[in-house]
């Protein structure tokens, strides 16, 4: 069936608008990542201008999944109390939420990636240090009993794109 007129134009445009993941966290949305630092800037849904901003290590041109960059945020599913921005209380469930972005800006929301999620920090158990998934856009959480400075790096082995987020637990 061929669509014509304004209704067809709106239907075609709607197919290009990315939808937030079901696990969207309004508080977590405030903490985008630009090369590992916490800030409020993110190209999670593309750019409002003509040029898309990509953060972290960029993916290889011509990668079969098309991933150019990965956006990351602190994932705080239970609303752990923040002592200061980027510093959370002990005994909190925290982690990383990420989405993969193609060169022009839209999110890759499928299983075409080979993601490695690496948690680094004091006393990280070996089984928690590396998590692997094919999900290009997802979340991974951990329970933090002890304090310290932590970094979570998300890397797509297909494209080579990666990014990280750092936070503290006290």
Q: Say if residue 30's pLDDT is above 60.
A: no
* Longest Cα separation, the chain: 61
> In sequence order, what are the residues at sequence separation of 6 or more whose Cβ sits closer than 8 angstroms to the Cβ of residue 51?
none
**Considering the domain boundaries, does residue 102 fall inside one?**
yes
The average confidence (pLDDT) of the chain is 78
Higher-confidence residue: 147 or 25? Answer: 147
- Supply the CATH number for residue 87's domain: 2.60.40.1930
For residue range 84-106, what is the model confidence (pLDDT) as tens digits? 999 999 999 999 999 999 999 99
Distance CA 121, CA 13 (A): 44
**Considering the domain boundaries, does residue 16 fall inside one?**
no
Distance CA 19, CA 109 (A): 9
Distance CA 89, CA 74 (A): 14
- The reported pTM is 0.72
**Considering the domain boundaries, does residue 45 fall inside one?**
yes
Higher-confidence residue: 16 or 53? Answer: 53
Residue range 52-67: mean pLDDT, rounded: 95
> What's the domain range around 133?
24-169
């Amino acid at each position: 069936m061929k669509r014509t007129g304004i209704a067809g134009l709106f239907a075609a445009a709607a197919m290009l608008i990315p939808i937030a993941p079901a696990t969207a966290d309004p508080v977590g949305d405030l903490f985008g990542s630009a090369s590992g630092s916490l800030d409020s800037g993110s190209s999670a849904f593309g750019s409002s201008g003509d040029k898309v901003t990509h953060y972290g290590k960029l993916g290889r041109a011509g990668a079969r999944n098309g991933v150019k960059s990965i956006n990351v945020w602190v994932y705080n599913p239970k609303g752990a109390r923040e002592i200061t921005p980027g510093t959370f209380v002990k005994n909190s469930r925290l982690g990383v939420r990420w989405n993969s972005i193609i060169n022009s800006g839209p999110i890759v929301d499928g299983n075409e990636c080979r993601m490695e999620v690496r948690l680094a920090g004091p006393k990280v158990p070996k089984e928690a240090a590396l998590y692997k998934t094919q999900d290009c856009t997802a979340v991974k959480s951990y329970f933090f009993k002890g304090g310290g400075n932590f970094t979570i790096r998300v890397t797509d082995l297909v494209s080579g794109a990666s990014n990280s987020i750092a936070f503290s637990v006290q």
